[in-house]
Each structure stands twice: as structure tokens, then as C-alpha cells.
Amino acid sequence: MHITKHLDSARRDLDGIEVELVRVVLEPEPEFDAEVLPMAWVRRTDTDAELLCFPEELSEPLPLPVGYVPPALRVIGSPL
């Protein structure tokens, strides 16, 4: 028996390419300004190449923490 597909919550579709979620970037880092967050690192399942994409490019939403507010939308002095 050969299984070609399996249930995996990290699998998504990016422009017709099956990808696996590697990491979600929620906070600013040297490579990422607050204005572009959140972003996602994904890995193509056919070539293992890692790609960076915006959440809206993926077929499934990113697993974001409850109440998450992107850094660019936070009010200075707010507890979030």
C-alpha cells in the first residue's frame, strides 16, 4: 500500500504548489520590518526549497495566537 496524501495540519497550497508550514514570523526580526508581518516560511513538498510568503497567498490561514495584533497595527503604550 502506498499512501500519497495524509492528514497534516502544516500542509497548504501556495499558487498550486503543495507546501508545508515551517515557521510563522510574528515579531520584527532583522530581515522583517513590522509593516510586513505576519509572514510565513514554507517548504515545497516536491523540492524541499524554502520560500517566504504572505498569509493571504496560502490556501489555509496561519495558526496565529488568539488576540494577535500585527506589530504595525499596535498602538504605542498599549498592553498588546
Asked if residue 54 is part of any domain, the answer here is yes
Output DSSP code: residue 27: S
Q: Report the C-alpha gap between 41 and 65 in whole angstroms.
A: 17
DSSP-derived 3-state class of residue 22: strand
Structurally, the chain folds into a number of domains equal to 1
Output DSSP code: residue 55: G
Asked if residue 71 is part of any domain, the answer here is no
Per residue of the chain (80 residues), give pLDDT as tens.
434 444 456 788 998 999 999 988 888 888 778 888 888 899 999 999 999 999 899 998 888 888 888 887 877 665 55
* CB contact set of 61 (below 8 Å; sequence gap of 6+): 55
Q: Report the C-alpha gap between 46 and 15 in whole angstroms.
A: 14
pTM of the model: 0.71
